């Protein structure tokens, strides 16, 4: 059986990536796993500054709850797609790259929650593209199916508008 893993960080881009991963899992008859990574461990992680009094298990529980809500939304209309889920302490790019050794496809959004919105790709998608052991689908912020749903059409240099 084919396996797909998708990174979900709560951003709009990640929700779109999750929806695309659900479609791919349905089309392939694949197992789908959604990963939410939170870098909390001591060291250089984004949340390493958290004081010891913060309940790190509660942070992971809250992240898991957000992941559950995103999965319910993404699987609406796709009743046969079962999504396994994990909220993990760690660097998202490293975890997704590690998962890539055991799956057939990694799906990520082009931009996450980082602060440099002008960049084409975020650090996680760049890191996964650089280190993955399998194909990677990077879902852009705006996709063609959204244009079709809202009545816009995309033109290409070779099409007539």
What does the pLDDT look like over 8-51, one tens digit per residue?
998 888 999 999 999 999 999 999 999 999 887 645 555 555 55
| pTM of the predicted structure, to 2 decimals | 0.78
Burial class (CB in 10 A: 0-12, 13-18, 19+), 113: middle
Q: Is residue 157 part of a domain?
A: no
Q: Is residue 57 part of a domain?
A: yes
Decide if pLDDT at 154 tops 70.
no
Percent of the chain with pLDDT over 70: 71
Q: Is residue 159 part of a domain?
A: no
Q: Is residue 128 part of a domain?
A: yes
Q: Is residue 158 part of a domain?
A: no
Q: Is residue 65 part of a domain?
A: yes
Decide if pLDDT at 98 tops 50.
yes
Structural domain containing residue 144: 3-149
Q: Is residue 35 part of a domain?
A: yes
Number of domains in the chain: 1
Whichever domain contains 93, its CATH number is: 3.40.50.620
Decide if pLDDT at 72 tops 70.
yes
Q: Is residue 117 part of a domain?
A: yes
- Residue spans of alpha helices (H) in the chain: 12-28, 56-74, 92-99, 123-131, 144-149
């Amino acid at each position: 059986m084919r396996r797909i893993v998708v990174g979900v960080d709560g951003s709009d881009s990640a929700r779109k990536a999750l929806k695309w991963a659900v479609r791919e899992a349905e089309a392939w008859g694949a197992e789908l796993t959604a990963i939410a990574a939170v870098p909390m461990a001591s060291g250089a992680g984004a949340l390493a500054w958290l004081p010891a009094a913060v309940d790190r298990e509660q942070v992971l529980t809250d992240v898991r709850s957000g992941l559950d809500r995103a999965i319910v939304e993404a699987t609406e209309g796709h009743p046969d797609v079962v999504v396994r889920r994990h909220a993990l302490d760690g660097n998202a790019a490293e975890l997704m790259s590690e998962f890539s050794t055991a799956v057939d496809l990694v799906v990520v959004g082009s931009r996450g929650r980082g602060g440099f919105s002008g960049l084409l790709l975020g650090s996680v998608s760049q890191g996964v593209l650089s280190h993955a052991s399998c194909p990677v689908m990077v879902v852009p912020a705006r996709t063609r199916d959204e244009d079709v749903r809202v009545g816009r059409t995309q033109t290409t240099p070779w099409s007539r508008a």
